A = this chain, B = another copy of it.
Amino acid sequence: MVRSEWIAARKGHDNVTQMHYARQGIITEEMHYVAQRENLPPELIRDEVARGRMIIPANINHPNLEPMAIGIAAKCKVNANIGASPNSSNLEEELAKLRLAVKYGADTVMDLSTGGGDLDAIRTAIINASPVPIGTVPVYQALESVHGSVERLTPDDFLHVIEKHAQQGVDYMTIHAGLLIEYLPLVKNRITGIVSRGGGILAKWMLYHHKQNPLYTHFRDIIEIFKKYDVSFSLGDSLRPGCLHDASDEAQLAELKTLGQLTRKAWEHDVQVMVEGPGHVPMDQIEFNVRKQMEECSEAPFYVLGPLVTDIAPGYDHITSAIGAALAGWYGTAMLCYVTPKEHLGLPNAEDVRNGLIAYKIAAHAADIARHRPGARDRDDELSRARYNFDWNRQFELALDPERAREYHDETLPADIYKTAEFCSMCGPKFCPMQTKVDAEALAELEKFLAKDKDQVSASA
């Protein structure tokens, strides 16, 4: 396994986080690995991790992980969600979804299982099979552990499940510690109230017990667990807007401020942090949301869900949200959580996962280009050259989804001979615009002519 020896050498350390080593000036093997993948100097990786502006989610109990980085200096990343839900999934199916997600380029995968089998067995199998970091939302299992009874749920139940996930090798966990009891009244004027599943559970808990959020009051305990395994915080945004109307409101911003305080609290103990963000946001508010998160959370990496830029297209929310995600990535968001076409409608199938992931790979790549990340456009240029040269097979190879590109092309022109044809069925053999090759010779001749007879051709409109 990639990391076995690296991890063995850290035995006995009571804080094994990448941030802890970085702050001692150490460049870990994980940082070297990431530096190579990102084509960045290892020192930069170390400095960014030390500064908290980049995380390398890498639990010491996930030895087969191929380390990757989430942060503004690195390429924009994409997360895919999988997970069993009651009566709708099983171990084999979840592993198939994991492989599918990795195949289509997921940089991390969240296991959001809420039921439908032995959750621990499924999670362990996923971690063992996954080369990418695995994230979870432990509050779901905490609630399951008391058979869904918010009344019986105690702070220890949360901590117990969190420690278990950490031991199993989960690389990052969504922790909804920023939803304070005093923020609950702020959702009164919303259309869709609280739309975070974990946040909703904590809201119910606080409304019932009239006590502060246990993940907030026990935040130090969670830090202690995370230090031992190097689990990264993904600070959950329980009050993210569930529709455009609710975007950027007082509730959302109040929680964001607390997430910033918690970020700095975790950093005091060298624990890595990223911060989750919306959700549903009109295009003209996305830049504000990204800048505000940077400001409130001292530039800890931002990890957003979409955002959707309109609410009127159920069935196409991979597109409504890829638009927002591309913008968010351009403004500096470090990771984009995908949304599938089934969002708001049903459990995604394999084809939905594929469509969601490609939409998000597009968004992340467009963001890399717009931010001028070094080399980001190379693949685009290479594909464009293949296109101009009618090298169809090369175009397919360079495509984000080669099988789809080939399938669409071959739908009308399947024969092999068309793989070098100077047209496709879109414009037919005579009108392909890529055929307009203005060759060097003709241009040279034209330029000679223009130099001589310029006046002759410049008749005005």
The answer to whether A366 and B426 touch (CB under 8 A), given A192-B388, A194-B433, A359-B319, is no
Chain A contact residues, majority secondary structure: helix
Interface contact A461-B261, CB-CB below 8 Å: yes
A323 to B330, CA, bound (A): 12
- Among B191, B316, B330, B430, the residue within 8 A (CB) of A284 is B330
**A182 CB contacts on chain B under 8 angstroms:** 450, 454, 457-458
Query: Taking the complex as formed, is A193 at the interface, i.e. its CB lies under 8 A from any CB of chain B?
Result: yes
Q: With A and B bound together, what is the CA distance between A240 and B437 in angstroms?
A: 15
Contact of A366 among B177, B309, B315, B424 (CB under 8 A): B309
Q: How far is the CA of A365 from the CA of B264 in the complex (A)?
A: 39
Interface residues of A in 185-214 (CB under 8 A from B): 185, 187-188, 191-197, 199-200, 203-204, 206-207, 210-212
A343 within 8 A of B: yes
Residue of B nearest to A325 (CB): B323
Set of chain B residues within 8 Å of A427, measured between Cβ atoms: 85, 114, 197
A99 nearest CB across to chain B (Å)? 21
Say how far A315's CB is from chain B's closest CB, in angstroms: 4
From B114, B326, B342, give the contact of A309 (CB < 8 A).
Answer: B326
Contacts of A8 in B (CB 8 A): none
Question: Would you call B450 and A181 a contact (CB within 8 A)?
Answer: yes
- Interface code A210-238, partner B: CB below 8 Å = 1, 0 otherwise? 11100011011000000000000000000
In angstroms, Cα B409 to Cα A385, docked, is 42
Q: Identify which of A194, A311, A347, A457 gathers the most chain B CB atoms within 10 Å of its CB.
A: A311
Chain B residues positioned under 8 Å from A385 (CB to CB): 191
B346 touches A425 (CB 8 A): yes
Q: Given A312-B400, A428-B85: A438 and B383 within 8 A (CB)?
A: no
Given A244-B369, A323-B326 in contact, is the A312-B379 Cβ separation under 8 Å? Answer: yes
Which residues of chain A from 139 to 164 have any CB-CB distance to chain B below 8 Å in the complex? 140, 148
Cα A316 to Cα B401 with chains together (Å): 9
**Residue numbers in B under 8 Å from A381 (CB-CB):** 191, 243-245, 311
Interface string of A256-293 (1 = CB under 8 A from B): 00000110010000000000000000111000000000
**Is B436 within 8 A of A203, CB to CB?**
yes
Interface contact A346-B148, CB-CB below 8 Å: no
Is A449 an interface residue when CB atoms closer than 8 A count as contact?
yes
B-contacting 9-mer, from A28-36, A54-62, A440-448: A440-448
Closest to A309 in B: B366
The answer to the question of A12 belonging to the interface, with a C-beta cut-off of 8 Å to chain B, is no
Chain A, residues 338-361, CB within 8 Å of chain B (1/0): the string is: 000111111111000000001101
- Interchain residue pairs A-B with the least CB separation, the first 7: A200-B436, A243-B384, A283-B370, A315-B404, A311-B380, A309-B366, A219-B461
Q: Known contacts A313-B399, A315-B401, A346-B412; can you find 19 more A-B pairs with CB under 8 A?
A: A85-B426, A191-B388, A193-B388, A194-B438, A199-B436, A204-B436, A210-B457, A217-B459, A244-B369, A262-B461, A282-B370, A283-B330, A284-B330, A284-B370, A311-B384, A316-B401, A316-B404, A348-B426, A349-B411
